[in-house]
């Protein structure tokens, strides 16, 4: 029987790449999505065409009931979950001086509360030797203007990783985070000018922005047996960006 992986935000650029990579590595995958059912269906069909097995399940990651239902539905449809990869998140930008509390609350609810809820449910559902992989961001080290609420949410995520790793160690469950640098997903490319992208390329010693496959490969490592001694870490997968 194939091991089961839940990938939140699996219709996004990185999440979708992670789902496809884990499927190719022999996992049955849960394509989590929040709103776009058609994209989720397309992601499932793409994996099935490649010979894999996938199901799509909707949930609001900031809602504890829906997160619990996500895990319960995954177990009913595919079986016991072995790996949880939490990529779901949002990144609206706002200068701190504006005091935009609505944007701040929305980011914290999705990025930090959502991560907390997914980690909590994973802690209750995963069996011995499971893997929890969440997402931070390398932009923490850059402290760009307008990124305040986003950076605050991701700094909180990194704190949670260390604590949960200590809480679950006696069950052989590893808990790690990946902090990507700039990655050329459709959303990233659409929301930035060519000048902005060129400036980010200059900040990276390897002379390019990342690709989704750069990130999914590291997820595959953390989800596999070779990472059993990697725990409580934040892997900054960014080409030297920060």
Residues carrying an active site annotation: 150
> In terms of C-beta density within 10 A (0-12 exposed, 13-18 middle, 19 or more buried), how is residue 69 classed?
middle
DSSP, residue by residue, the chain: ---EEEEETTTSHHHHHHHHHHHHTT-EEEEEESS-HHHHHHHHHHHHHTT--EEEEE--TT-HHHHHHHHHHHHHHT-SEEEEEE---------GGGT-HHHHHHHIIIIIIHHHHHHHHHHHH--TT-EEEEE--GGGGT--TT-HHHHHHHHHHHHHHHHHHHHHGGGT-EEEEE----B--HHHHHTS-HHHHHHHHHTSTTSS-B-HHHHHHHHHHHHSGGGTT--S-EE--STT--
- Identify the CA nearest to 208 among candidates 239, 242, 235: 239
């Amino acid at each position: 029987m194939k091991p089961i992986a839940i990938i939140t935000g699996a219709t996004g650029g990185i999440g979708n790449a992670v789902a496809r990579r884990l499927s190719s590595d022999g996992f049955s995958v849960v394509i989590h999505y929040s709103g776009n059912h058609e994209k989720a269906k397309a992601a499932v069909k793409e994996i099935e065409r490649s010979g894999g097995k996938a199901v799509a399940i909707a949930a609001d990651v900031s809602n504890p009931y829906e997160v619990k239902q996500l895990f319960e539905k995954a177990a009913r449809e595919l079986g016991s979950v072995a790996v949880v990869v939490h990529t779901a998140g949002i990144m609206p930008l706002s200068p701190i001086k504006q005091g935009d509390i609505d944007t701040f609350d929305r980011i914290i609810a999705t990025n930090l509360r959502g991560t907390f809820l997914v980690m909590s449910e994973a802690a209750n559902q995963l069996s011995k030797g499971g893997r929890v992989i969440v997402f931070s961001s390398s932009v923490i080290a850059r402290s760009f203007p307008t990124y305040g609420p986003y950076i605050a949410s991701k700094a909180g995520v990194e704190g949670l990783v260390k604590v949960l790793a200590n809480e679950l160690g006696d069950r052989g469950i590893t808990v790690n985070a990946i902090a990507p640098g700039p990655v050329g997903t459709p959303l990233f490319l659409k929301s930035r000018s060519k000048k902005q992208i060129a400036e980010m390329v200059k900040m990276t010693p390897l002379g390019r922005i990342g690709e989704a496959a750069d990130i999914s490969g590291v997820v595959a490592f953390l989800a596999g047996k070779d990472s059993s001694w990697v725990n409580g870490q934040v892997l900054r997968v960014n080409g030297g960006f920060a």
